[in-house]
Amino acid sequence: MFEVLTLPEARKIVLGGLVDQQTGALTVYRGDLSAVTAPSSVFMPTGAGLRPDPTDFAIIDGGQAIRLGAYEATA
């Protein structure tokens, strides 16, 4: 954690997050400890019709992206 907090570009790393199941909003916490909240509507289906699954949230790629089921988005 200390390594991320002291990075010059710490705000570009996702440390944690949560999905509010009632509103569908996703909040992620960045390496500078700031929070960013986005409505689920920003996660558009892919060209193949893949939709985000807010019940299966994970941080991937060393904090550079998030996963919502099989749906991935870069941070």
Higher pLDDT pick, 1 / 52: 52
Prediction pTM value: 0.84
CA within 13 Å, CB half, 12 = 5
Task: Encode pLDDT of 21-59 as tens digits.
Answer: 899 899 999 999 999 999 989 999 999 999 999 999 999
**Average confidence (pLDDT) over 58-69:** 94
Longest Cα pair distance anywhere in the chain, in angstroms? 40
What is the pLDDT, as a whole number, of residue 70?
95
User: Of residues 10 and 70, which shows the higher confidence score?
Assistant: 70
